[in-house]
Amino acid sequence: MYQTPSLGRSDDSAVDSSSVPGTPSDMSMFAQAYSIPADSMDMGALPERVGTPQPSRHHIALPDILHPETASSVPIRTICCIGAGYVGGPTAAVIALHNPHIRVVVVDRDQRRIDAWKSRHLPIHEPGLEDVVRIARDGAAETRRRGDSPTRHTMDAARQPNLFFSTACIETIEVADMCLISVNTPTKTRGVGAGRATDMAALEGACRDIAMHAKAGCILVEKSTVPCKTGQLIKDIMEAHRPGVVFPVLSNPEFLSEGTAIRDLMQPDRVVIGCESTISGHRAAAALANLYAAWVPRSRIAPIGIWSSELCKLAANAMLAQRISSINSISAICERTDADVGEIAKSIGLDPRIGPQFLKAGLGFGGSCFRKDIASLTYLAESLGLPEVAAYWQQVLTMNDFQRDRFAGHVIATLNNSLRGKKVAILGYAFKKNTGDARESPALDVIRILLEEGPKSITIYDPLCSEADIKRELSVLERDYAVSMPDGPVEVVPDPYAACGNSNAVLILTDWDMFKNGKPVTQSSKPVTIAETYDGATPTDVLHLTPRIERVTINKPPTPPRTPKLSPLAPELNTRLLPEPPCPADCVVCRSSSSAGMSVETDTTTPIDWAHISKTVREPRWVFDGRGVLDARAMVGMGFRLETLGRASMY
């Protein structure tokens, strides 16, 4: 039978307490293993195998986590998801979609964010998310559907809403059978471990609220990315506020990629559930497994130890980031040897032991995960007395920074080592395509270096990132001088042609399809259903996805930005949908859309007209491709001088 580690004392523990690493009275095991720098630790006081479950003296059969009946005594009627961000919102929506008998409530203290989730203008921009939210949040009416023959009809029962959003955190926790903790865990900016350690303040606060208000037996599920041994921290908090009360703690890390989050949730390659080796722990894990089994095959649900579950998310992101830094290091060699990094990536990607994923040379990784998780991993290694391990993973971050610095330095050197009186156009600010997330973008580091040369202006265009989000990210650069207009040189514009006009250089910093100079991506006219798109037990009559282009404004994008809608509900399902909640009279999004002037139907896959841009930029028409999206021969044919990362300069 599968065995998992125990977090500590429990009413039905299958592990003798003497076999579990002890917790000093003045410091939790979490603090020993993570929070204290290695140079100030008494390494002799640490167990020989920190974080590794010790063998149990008494082995008893624990219930099978993947058996549906294991959780028969653990009914789940209400789920509270704490945190309405990029993880909590989409995850809760998909769980609610596939479990209509369960009430799912997403809570957050940010009233504006909750209001956005309740409206028709969601705060998260993911393809397919609006469809999922609309079904689960608004419900569907009863309707008659034609059967196999013209005389037979099937009645589709009405679906009641079971997804709710609220700021009533305490009231929701009080009635919840399961709490998903999806709060932000950023990198600390001050104090011990600043710049590397994980800031656990929000998670600790959520756990205290649960400890003080949740009913006994409520299952706690870690969804946030946390350092190893966080489960012990949670147990310590619960024991401090509710001694003797059992609260099973599970680890269920998310493996979502922005831009494909709904696809990742609908069709996961694995669902990792970490639990403690107790009867209550296994039953709690089985209850969570049953929720996922509503649409995920049980063969893809992986029960593992809680420490392994917590660490596997950090390890997975570190491995992916390592591949990016590895191919970027090769790109630097290619530029000195006339080799082509694209050809190299293609050839080594054909090796089945390596594969083609994450071998695209560029400006390096960005976003809110990779850098944060590797920094957390290096700090964890140092805290455990493993400086060599920390140095190994630190080099992944060093190479990432080197790639951005090298690219920006090459731009400056090509423009005669001076940007005085010159305009630089930047196409793309988001850290990757198909997302409006401006956090931790490589563009920020490139702009920082360019600003040091005193350019006349830097104009930024991105199809989804809002002007407010970009300016908020750029505000960290405002130390000695202003950055954004009117006092600074940086301006965010809603039109790529306005951004490039009269510029001395054009920089491509995001791999949006619209920046490619190839043929436009064609959309099939055949309706695509969820069953054709996603695996699992998704009923085909829940969501029908039909390619369609949403109206977006080219000369004044709405705020917040909206992902082009490529998968709305099919017309026959519209009759089942209940009306969307009306927007208030002062809705910013509606007001900006109605007063934007001329709008055209467009999406992020329609290529821009590079031939037109070639007539508006200044000679010698420099273009610096930081993402490898442009065809060199075509660009040179239009009169551009193209410099591409990973390829030797032609000039």
Catalytic residues: 369
Q: Residue 299: exposed, middle, or buried by beta-carbon count in 10 A (0-12, 13-18, 19+)?
A: exposed
Is residue 360 annotated as involved in ligand binding? yes
Is residue 526 annotated as involved in ligand binding? no
Angle (CA) 393 396 400, round 5°: 155
Is residue 137 annotated as involved in ligand binding? no
- Is there a contact between 463 and 512 (Cβ–Cβ < 8 Å)? yes
Q: Listing from the earlier edge strand, what are the strands of the sheet with 271-275?
A: 163-166, 103-107, 78-82, 178-181, 219-222, 249-251, 271-275, 301-305
Is residue 644 annotated as involved in ligand binding? no
- Is there a contact between 83 and 172 (Cβ–Cβ < 8 Å)? no
Is residue 346 annotated as involved in ligand binding? no
Is residue 255 annotated as involved in ligand binding? yes
Return the H-helix or E-strand segment holding 336.
helix 306-337
| Token pair recorded at residue 421 | 């009186």
Is residue 257 annotated as involved in ligand binding? yes
Return the H-helix or E-strand segment holding 105.
strand 103-107
Cα(185)–Cα(85) distance, integer angstroms: 11
- Is there a contact between 423 and 383 (Cβ–Cβ < 8 Å)? no
Is residue 358 annotated as involved in ligand binding? yes
Rama region for 639: left / alpha / beta (φ>0; ψ in -120 to 50; rest): left
Which ranges in 338-436 belong to alpha helices (H)? 341-349, 370-383, 387-414
Is residue 519 annotated as involved in ligand binding? no
- Is there a contact between 268 and 261 (Cβ–Cβ < 8 Å)? no
Pairing of strands 153-156, 143-146: antiparallel
Is residue 302 annotated as involved in ligand binding? no
Is residue 7 annotated as involved in ligand binding? no
Cα(82)–Cα(285) distance, integer angstroms: 19
Cα(547)–Cα(565) distance, integer angstroms: 8
Other CB atoms within a 10 A radius of the CB of residue 152 amount to 9
What residue type is 129 in one-letter code?
L
Cα(408)–Cα(240) distance, integer angstroms: 52
Is residue 185 annotated as involved in ligand binding? yes
Is residue 516 annotated as involved in ligand binding? no
Rg (the chain; Cα; Å): 26
Known binding site: residues? Answer: 108, 113, 185, 225, 255-258, 313, 358-362, 366, 372, 432, 439
Q: Residues forming the annotated binding site for substrate? A: 255-258, 313, 358-362, 366, 432
* Positions at the binding site for NAD(+): 108, 113, 185, 225, 258, 372, 439
